[in-house]
Amino acid sequence: MTRVGIGYDVHQYAENRPLILGGVEIPHSHGLQGHSDADVLSHAIADAILGALGLPDIGHYFPPGDASIEGISSLEILARCRTLAEAEGATIVNIDSTLIAEAPRVLPFREAMREKIGAALGLGTHLIGIKATTNEQMGFVGRGEGIAAMAVASADS
């Protein structure tokens, strides 16, 4: 049976933090605020995978109050989602995602992100879609206050 899950995440910009998207450090004036590395793209993908598996969301497995995972790489979160899929007897089939930000331009880093995400999930890069768009200067994203991401994942069991 093929199952599909959807994920969404958002993080505010923060000073004095690196901007990590899809496991890749992107040059920018601000990073993202969060308990982990705040990789909004990887978090949306993780929630999509967990949804496809019918499991609780990312906060259940990686609670923001857990000091033992403070600063965790979101690629490690993805790798753990892969382990959860395997424990459920499922295989992650593919990922599609969209980053929503006014800046920075992320498509020059797309292939590097696909490679890092693919390595964490055991998928070829041809099975990972990453797109980017703006919010046309509307809302918190449009005002440059943060970044949002959406993702879908399919899994076979």
Total number of domains constituting the chain:
1
If you search the block for the tokens 């499991």, which residue do you land on?
A: 55
Residues in the chain with pLDDT values less than 70: none
Range of the domain at 39: 2-156
Q: Are 106 and 99 in contact (CB under 8 A)?
A: yes
The pLDDT value recorded for residue 112 is 98
CB 40 within 8 A of CB 148: yes
Please state the pTM of the whole predicted model: 0.97
pLDDT for position 19: 98
* 110-121 and 74-87 helices, crossing angle to 10°: 40
Q: pLDDT (tens digit, 9 = 90+) per residue, 102-143?
A: 999 999 999 999 999 999 999 999 999 999 999 999 999 999
What CATH number is associated with residue 56?
Answer: 3.30.1330.50
